[in-house]
Amino acid sequence: MKVNRKIHIPEHLVKSLKGKGKFPKPIKEKFYWCLDMILENPQYPSLRNKTVKGTTDIWEFSITKNYRCIYRKDKEDIYILAIAKHEDAF
């Protein structure tokens, strides 16, 4: 069941996701697919959605084996904080 939440992406990430930005096209496409899945089924296995170790309000999901998305959520909205290679994310 899809949750009715709004996703907020900071302007600097929007720019990186558009055109010839920082991320390769397959990563951009998979990121948007992952956003749909987070809304529809946050426990979808390939997302590996979980809280960041040592926190209670910061979450992460896998975009690919090498890329992660870090985010915060409240009852109504999701706030994307970062998209990074796994080794650079923490």
Tell me the whole-structure pTM to 2 decimals: 0.87
Domains of the chain in sequence order: 6-89 (3.30.2310.20)
Q: Annotate 35-75 with DSSP letters as a single string.
A: HHHHHH-TT-GGG--EEPTT-SSEEEEESSSSEEEEEEE-S
Residues listed for the chain: 90
Predicted pLDDT of residue 3:
62
Is-contact 49 60, C-beta < 8 A?
A: yes
Predicted pLDDT of residue 89:
66
pLDDT in tens, 22-71: 889 999 999 999 999 999 999 999 999 999 999 999 999 999 999 999 99
